[in-house]
Amino acid sequence: MDQQKIELTTKALIQFMRAKDKAALLEPPPLPSGVHVKKGIAYVEDGNERHRMDLYTPGHPDSLPILVFFHGGGWVCGNKERFAPYLAELCSKGFFVASCNYRLSDEMPHPAQVQDALAALAYVARRGQEWGGNPRHLFIVGDSAGAHLTALLAAIYSTPALQTRYQIDGGQIQRLTGIGLLCGIYDIE
């Protein structure tokens, strides 16, 4: 296959995936009993839709563990709504859940996604207690590209050399209780 056909196929696939993301927004599933969603919370105040998160809280949150989720989409598509049923179900089982958008690679190259994820984590750690979460019990989870991002965040959190590389002040690092990696890509050259 020549380069032009590869590029056209890739563009068509990205358009299809983005259309699928938009369709998912049109018919959101019902929430489990007692779960509430606050949509479109800005974790960076710049007006960029990619710097927003949705917060899933049970009816009476009380110092719940916090789960921060990063969607997949091959770094070129996906959104915070894609896993809404799954995240709402986790919330109903006793988690405060934040589902985060981040800038996609065709909008802004790496390390923008890492910077966005770090900003989202810092925001949730700073504000989570106000919403009924417990920042001392912080989990990060991601799917596909989001799992890669989650693994990278865990590596940054535990490696001073990576903190230096990504220009992260050690004081910004929250203690992680655990991570969840769903279908991620971890060996990129």
Record the tokens describing residue 120, joined without a space.
Answer: 């989202």
Q: Contact, 67 vs 134, CB < 8 A?
A: no
24 exposed, middle or buried (CB, 10 Å; 0-12, 13-18, 19+)?
middle
Q: In which element (H, E) is residue 16 found? A: helix 3-26
pLDDT in tens, the chain (189 residues): 566 655 555 555 555 555 556 555 556 677 888 899 999 999 999 999 999 999 999 877 678 999 999 999 988 999 999 899 999 999 998 899 999 999 999 999 999 999 999 999 999 989 988 888 998 899 999 999 999 999 999 999 888 899 888 888 766 666 889 999 999 888 877
- Burial classification of residue 91, based on how many CB atoms lie within 10 Å of its CB (0-12 exposed, 13-18 middle, 19 or more buried): buried
Cα–Cα distance for residue pair 67/51, rounded to 1 Å: 17
Cβ atoms within 10 Å of 125's Cβ, excluding its own: 19
